[in-house]
Amino acid sequence: MPLVPMTEFLPKAKANKFAVGQFNMNNLEFTQAIIEAGIEEKSPLIFGVSEGAMRYMGLEYTVAMAKVAAETSGLPVALHLDHGSSFEVVMKCIQAGFSSVMFDGSHYPLEENIRLTKKVVEAAHAVGVSVEGELGTIGGVEDDVSVDEEDAALAKPEEAIRFWEETKVDALAIAVGTAHGMYKGEPKIRFEIIDEVARNVDAPIVLHGGSGVPDESIKKAISLGVGKINVNTENQVACTRVVRQILDEKPDLVDPRKYMGPGREAIKEVVKEKMRLFGSSNQA
Ligand SMILES: [Zn+2]
C-alpha cells in the first residue's frame, strides 16, 4: 500500500477506542523493526520523523525507506513529520512524499498558533496530507525541542477546543502532564483535560512522551479519547541496552550486523507490546 494520511485510521481509532502508535525512525534498523512488528500484529502504524532524525538519515532516504516498508507490508502506514517547526519545513516534507505532518506552534501565543496552524492545514489538506497541531507545552527534551519543567504548560481545555474548531487539525496534541524522554517518577496525567477536550472535538487526542507511562494510564487515556500515542525513547533504550551488552561481552566483535541485528529484534519486541497495549493489533 502507498503511504496514507493518518485520517485513514485515526477516526476509526477514536470511534472504536484504540490508539495507533507513532514510532520514530532513527535509521534503517528502526524502520525494519517497526514495520515487522506491524506485520506480525496486523496493525496500522505511524513512522514519526523529527527534524533531527531527518538531518541524520537524509530526507530522500527517509521517504524511500518508509515507502518500501509501506508497500511491501501492505499495511496502512503514515509517514509523519514530528514537531515540524515552520511552514517551510512542512512544505519540504510534503513535497518529498510525507503523508502527514505535525506543525508545532505551541510556543507561540494562542492566536499566532491558530493562524500558523490554519495555514499549514489549508496547504496540507489541499494535497491529501493529514495534520497534527499542538496546544500547551510538553516538557522534556526531544532533538531540537527542549522545554524546562517550569515552562511546561498544561493545555487549557477551552483553548484546545477553540484551537481545533478554528484549525480543524486531524489530530490534536495537548499537554496533559507527559514529557519527552524517560520519567524520573511516575508522570501525573491530567485525565480530566483529555476527557473534556476529547468530548468536544472530532479529532483524536495525541499523547506525546508515551515512553514509561504505566499501562493502566495508557488504557485509561485511550478510553477517554486518545487515538495516537508517540513512543521513541523506550525503543532507543531497548536497542542500546542490547547493543551495549553484546559489545561488553565480546570486545573483539566488529561486524555491525552482529550487534545491530539483535538491537533491531529488541525494538521489534517493544513495538509489538505497545501495539497490543494500544489495541491497534488486528486493526490493519
Ligand atoms: Zn513530541
Res 151 pLDDT > 70: no
Mean of the per-residue pLDDT values for the chain?
Answer: 95
Other beta carbons less than 10 A from residue 88's beta carbon: 9
| CA 100 to ligand 1 center in whole angstroms | 15
Percent of the chain with pLDDT over 70: 96
In the chain, what are the domains?
6-278 (3.20.20.70)
3-state SS assignment for residue 140 = strand
pLDDT of residue 138: 80
Check pLDDT > 60 for residue 273. yes
Question: Distance between the two ends of the chain, CA-based, in angstroms?
Answer: 11
**210 CA to centre of ligand 1 in angstroms:** 9
- At residue 150, the pLDDT reads 56
Q: Which amino acid is at 74?
A: G
How many angstroms is it from 260 CA to the middle of ligand 1?
26
Per-residue exposure over 165-187, b if at least 16 CB sit within 10 Å of its own CB, e if not: ebbbbbbbbbbbbbbbbebeeeb
pLDDT in tens, 49-59: 999 999 999 99
Residue 113 vs residues 158, 175, 194: alpha-carbon distances, Å: 15, 15, 20
Q: Which residue has the cell 502506514?
A: 77
pLDDT value at 185 more than 90: no
Cell of 217: 494510564
Q: Which residues are catalytic?
A: 82
State in Å: Cα 85 to ligand 1 middle: 12
pLDDT tens profile 67-76: 999 999 999 9
Strand partners, 131: 101
Range 203-233 burial, b when 16+ CB lie within 10 A, else e? bbbbbbbbbbbeeebbbebbebbbbbbbbbb
Asked if pLDDT for residue 39 goes beyond 90, the answer is yes
